Structure 1
Amino acid sequence: MSTPTSDTRDQAERGRYDTQPTVDLPAGEKIVRGSAAWQTAAETATSRGGALLVDTYPGVDIPALTAQVRAALPDWTIVDAEDAARPVAEIEQLIAPNLTDDRVLGVMSHFTLSDFYDDAKLSEMATTLTGKTVVIGWGAGLLADRIKSPTTVIVDMARWEIQLRQRAGATNWRADNANEDGLRKYKRGFYVEWRTADRHKRSLFDTVDFVVDGNAIAPAEPHPDSPDAGMITGAAFRQAMQDAATRPFRVVPFFDPGVWGGQWMKKVIGLDPAKDNYAWCFDCVPEENSLLLEGEGGVIEIPSIDLVFAQPVELLGAKNFSRFGADFPIRFDFLDTMGGGNLSLQVHPLQDYIRNTFGMAYTQDESYYLLDADDDAVVYLGTKTGIDQQQMVDDLHTAQEGGAPFPAEKYINSFPARKHDHFAIPAGTIHCSGANSMVLEISATPSTFTFKLWDWGRVGLDGIPRPVHLDHGIRNIQWDRDTEWVDENLIDQVETLRTEGDVIEERTGLHELEFIETRRHWFSQAADHDTDGTVNVLNLVEGDEARVVSPTGAFAPFVVHYAETFIIPASVGPYRIERTERSQSERFATLKAYVRGSRTSDN
């Protein structure tokens, strides 16, 4: 079985990867839990003389939440906000064009939550709300401008937790689909529910009175050491988001198994050794990841996308906000095939195709950076020069229909992959990582838009063949990206930009078609950086432990460990990455990504 190289193991042992990084709450802010939290919210509502509106993200366990509120406030009347929602059949008909018949792919929606509610019923509900009344549900916030002096609570939830619950049998919002394919549940969330919910909660951020950790609300008996769901004030939430946008931070990574998954992360990061494998780690995908806010009373978990919504200019930079809106454009994740298998042979849609077919603003250009690799590791990239294109298409169809396996080696280039190699993969390029590699994938953010062409005859962990989209994929293959073109444009594109003391800065070679720029900095003591008005995403790809410091003392030193991804908001400006006193590594390297043309100096 493949194992991490010795220097990788040494770095990991000295600088242990932190799977639960936190972000500080403002000094003096307290997390309140259990009945005390709901009593605190009720006291505010009573002092104002209005109703308590508890708005929930779709996926929050409403029965469990209601039971907790009822236990804390036994003399309060509880109203179900969803009594004012449109009939289920009407909503299903409304969203059907966005969901399509495909198992995975839909069309991006632009609904607002009011589209799912009956305006007359909302107005009627508002007239019935008197003192000591709690309205609970996704949509409670729609009543805020219809009643006097409301007190508003957001019960928020991370998408990763929603996915885990859906795999265990949870349904989509107002859907009787407990036993439905998990990919279809995810599709409904991705294209409809989460988009609508994000627009809705973002509209409440400036005025919300309290924020509650909905990830911790569950009907099952909690572990004896598990705290009740935490609540913070809206003011604390807003200040925490403002503070986080001025200093380095990490999101909470999550790890998932896969049919091709490997063993590297188990050994290097220290994950559960009893698991068969880990295939993915999502370490910078704000739509999916969480932030842990820490203060007096412990921690609460909120979606990291909340920071993007609350502080888009400070986090992303003015040019990125102008181009992408409140959308985090850079994604870092791990693909672990060490001791595992090949990823699926795949292609990502071209920009024109993804916009016209799925309603997405931009596509998934990406790259593979090799954190580690065995001697036999390869990356499949581009078609071989001189192949018969129609014969390849015919062979793909034959394999998909259960005939002879697709002869990938006949049609697709494979290039040796070594530690610290970086392969550019602009959309339209056939690609996949082979076995025995540990890939840091750097890409644009859109997810679910991988068109699998061949999955090596496998089924998913659920026993069902994983979705293959030959028709979409074939329409997007760029056949001119053959052996010579790939070798000239996508392989070994490292360019040394400067050497200064012990610092070497390199451009590692994403193609000009891709909007992400990547820079690698080698150093033994320290390397200076400047966000120059744009968000930076980095990973410590070599070295055991380093810290990020401000030359002006603008933020507290921030320690990072080998393989950790960290984010430097655009507002930070100058910063330095330096070895710590505990560091034993002789040299260090960071890989930094940012959006081309987004810096203040790019004029």
Structure 2
Amino acid sequence: MSTPSPSPSVPIGQYVKRPTVPLPADARVLTGETAWARAAETALDRADGHAPLLVVDAYPGADLPLITKTIADALPRWRIVDVEEAAARPTAEIDAFIADNLTDDRVFGVMSHATIDAFYDEDRLAATAADLAADDRPTVLIGWGADLVARQAEAPYVLVLADMARWEIQLRQRAGATNWRAANPDEDRLRKYKRGFFVEWRMADRHKRTMFDRLDFVFDANAVGAYEPDGRAAGMITGDAFRAAVANAAHRPFRVVPFFDPGVWGGQWMKRKLDLDPGQPNYAWCFDCVPEENSLLLEDADGGLVEIPSLDLVLTQPKALLGERTFARFGAEFPIRTDFLDTMEGGNLSLQVHPLTDYIYQTFGMHYTQDESYYLLDAGDDAVVYLGTKDDVDKEAMLEDLRIAATGERPFDAEKYVNAFPAKKHDHFLIPAGTIHSSGANSMVLEISATPFIFTFKMWDWGRLGLDGIPRPVHLDHAEQNMQWDRDRAWTEANLVGRVEELSNDGDVVEERTGLHELEFIEVRRHWFSEEAVHDTEGTVNVINLVEGDEVEVVSPTGAFEPYQIHYAETFIVPAAVGPYIIRRTARSRGQRFGTVKASIRGTRTGEA
């Protein structure tokens, strides 16, 4: 057995809310005027007889006026051209172009496959490029799509990506920020999110994938006008430092930055166990591993920080991170997500169902669906999971009662139609798409699921309003077309409840298969151990949570990466490229027994048919 390494100064078992990923040893985070002076100096050196050009392509949601002012203060002799003002199509034209993608629904749209040039006037782009070529002054070209103009100018330039994480964008939108060039400051936040999710972020990610290999600098736009500032200055790193950091991260364990959100059914467990703000009324969700929306915090040797979307790692390192087979199956998308659902001293989740694969593809343009499961980190004595219909349920009567409940005439009697299974700590309930389900009050759920995470069709929400005072959306029409009525109590008990299979037991390490169902593509293995457990990614990404024990560390048997410390309830990612690794107790661990649950993609491990 290998010897545990000394642990760092994080208190034993304390959930780390701001995990970091190291930058290369020689990289430094630049801030303030120093950062923009460095970028300008690079542009001057590269000009080669042309007017120096600094291109700042900003992700939609970045606070462009504040970034522009910051640059103007740092570079007073440079003129600044806003490409959005110079060449973007009018808002009315953009709204008309994306109307079919947004639909009239409050929550759901259709995935856009448009590219950013659709939002720009071709003639005005060309005119802006001609203006740059004709002017000999040093110029900063700024805005989402600035690179479109620069490529037409046919002169050397320095390219900066002002990047943004989706969670920060959402916080700003809730506080009144609009979508990109949209006149919607007071619009329902769900509709703002829908516009980002189905249209803007898809276009923006396609656009920045064309720039990753050419970036000279990456600027942290999350820290400019941040809704919840953490006191750090907006930092900038070189493109080389960015590329090296994400390449290194794809070959070692890491965590993304979790975020927490209240809800009408939210509980108190996370506040106590994860050391969250006790002044908040509740926390419903912790998005602990959702790379589409989480961040990575890149840290230099002096403690300087730059925040980037964790999606950048997925987009730039898909084979090393996901594994060749998983990448071949899903493309550059992270297919597994985990989050916490806290109803301890709270209320029931909505009664809901997720779409079948064919339905989500035909209706919304998503190529896989939200299969999921509930793993109980903790549970009260009265905790239950609602799952599947009761035997011989009257389908038409249930649908009619749901419709009546949606009008507010009378509440829906869930227990008349839906099974309620007692739930205790470490139980695992499997929820393939099409299965009616809900987590009851007094549960702490680790949700392990596929990533398309907004496709929840609520059927009944227990008569509640949302935190915004508006009834939460119910989608009975969608739900009715996806409910699998044959998943009654007998089928559910046989297929979705208590499916634990012991795979090996050497006296110390016990490996169990706990799911998911055969209809789902995620495989979950649980390991119990007192000293260490040996793992191998077998060529596919592993997503792991420490569900029992105070503290462990992840080590490489070959020393390929430094030991990585993990605390109770933390989710971490082991990239496919890691191969063999060991999870072991640390020198100061107090736990007698440790437990992890590991999710991976079925059929993608090395040697699998």
Give 1:497's match in structure 2, choosing from 496, 503, 517: 503
Q: Secondary structure at the match of 2:528?
A: strand
- 1:570 matched residue in structure 2: 576
TM-score in terms of structure 1 length: 0.97
1:123 pairs with 2:126? yes
Give 2:167's match in structure 1, choosing from 160, 163, 166: 160
1:170 pairs with 2:172? no
1:406 pairs with 2:412? yes
- 2:4 matched residue in structure 1: none
Give yes or no for contact 2:232–2:305 (8 Å, CA) kept in 1.
no
CA deviation map 1:2-21 (0-9, x unaligned): xxxxxxxxxx9840000000
- 2:601 matched residue in structure 1: 595
Q: CA deviation at 1:131?
A: 4.0
What does 1:1-150 align with in structure 2 at a 5 Å threshold? 14-49=12-47, 50-82=52-84, 83-129=86-132, 130-147=136-153, 148-150=155-157
What does 1:409-448 align with in structure 2 at a 5 Å threshold? 409-448=415-454
What does 1:280-299 align with in structure 2 at a 5 Å threshold? 280-295=285-300, 296=302, 298-299=304-305
Give 1:532's match in structure 2, choosing from 526, 538, 547: 538
Q: CA deviation at 1:413?
A: 0.1
Q: Secondary structure at the match of 1:547?
A: strand
Give 1:230's match in structure 2, choosing from 224, 229, 235: 235
Q: Secondary structure at the match of 1:320?
A: helix
Distance 1:297 1:17 in 2: 20
Give 1:328's match in structure 2, choosing from 331, 334, 339: 334
1:548 pairs with 2:550? no
Distance 1:152 1:315 in 2: 26
CA deviation map 1:61-120 (0-9, x unaligned): 011011100000001000011111122211111100000000000000001101111222
Q: Secondary structure at the match of 1:218?
A: coil
Q: Secondary structure at the match of 1:144?
A: helix
Give yes or no for contact 2:386–2:437 (8 Å, CA) kept in 1.
yes
Q: Secondary structure at the match of 1:124?
A: helix
Give 2:219's match in structure 1, choosing from 212, 225, 247: 212
Which letter does structure 2 place at the counterpart of 1:101? Answer: D
What does 1:574-589 align with in structure 2 at a 5 Å threshold? 574-589=580-595
Give 2:380's match in structure 1, choosing from 358, 370, 374: 374
- 1:195 matched residue in structure 2: 202
Distance 1:531 1:366 in 2: 21
Which letter does structure 2 place at the counterpart of 1:108? Answer: M
Q: Secondary structure at the match of 1:146?
A: helix
Distance 1:13 1:121 in 2: 57
Q: CA deviation at 1:144?
A: 3.3
Give yes or no for contact 2:544–2:596 (8 Å, CA) kept in 1.
yes
Which letter does structure 2 place at the counterpart of 1:210? Answer: F
Give yes or no for contact 1:210–1:234 (8 Å, CA) kept in 2.
yes
Give yes or no for contact 1:46–1:131 (8 Å, CA) kept in 2.
no
Cα RMSD for the two superposed structures:
1.2
Give yes or no for contact 1:258–1:461 (8 Å, CA) kept in 2.
yes
Q: Secondary structure at the match of 1:314?
A: helix
Give the gaps of 5 or more residues in structure 1.
Answer: 1-11
Give yes or no for contact 1:64–1:219 (8 Å, CA) kept in 2.
no
Q: CA deviation at 1:146?
A: 1.6
Q: CA deviation at 1:600?
A: 1.3
Distance 2:406 2:539 in 1: 47
Identity of paired residues, percent?
A: 67
Q: Secondary structure at the match of 1:476?
A: coil
What does 1:283-322 align with in structure 2 at a 5 Å threshold? 283-295=288-300, 296=302, 298-322=304-328
Which letter does structure 1 place at the counterpart of 2:179? Answer: N
User: Would you say how many aligned residue pairs link Structure 1 and Structure 2?
Assistant: 590
Q: Secondary structure at the match of 1:161?
A: helix
Which letter does structure 1 place at the counterpart of 2:181? Answer: R
Q: CA deviation at 1:226?
A: 2.3
Give the gaps of 5 or more residues in structure 2.
Answer: 1-9
Distance 1:466 1:449 in 2: 14
CA deviation map 1:445-497 (0-9, x unaligned): 00210000000000000000000000000110000000000000000100000
- 1:9 matched residue in structure 2: none
- 1:7 matched residue in structure 2: none
Give yes or no for contact 2:168–2:226 (8 Å, CA) kept in 1.
no
Distance 1:479 1:240 in 2: 49
Give yes or no for contact 2:212–2:316 (8 Å, CA) kept in 1.
yes
Distance 2:247 2:111 in 1: 30
Q: CA deviation at 1:219?
A: 8.4
Distance 1:219 1:466 in 2: 27
Distance 2:515 2:250 in 1: 29
Q: Secondary structure at the match of 2:247?
A: helix
Distance 1:140 1:600 in 2: 43
Single out whichever of 499-508 and 510-519 deviates more from structure 2. Answer: 499-508
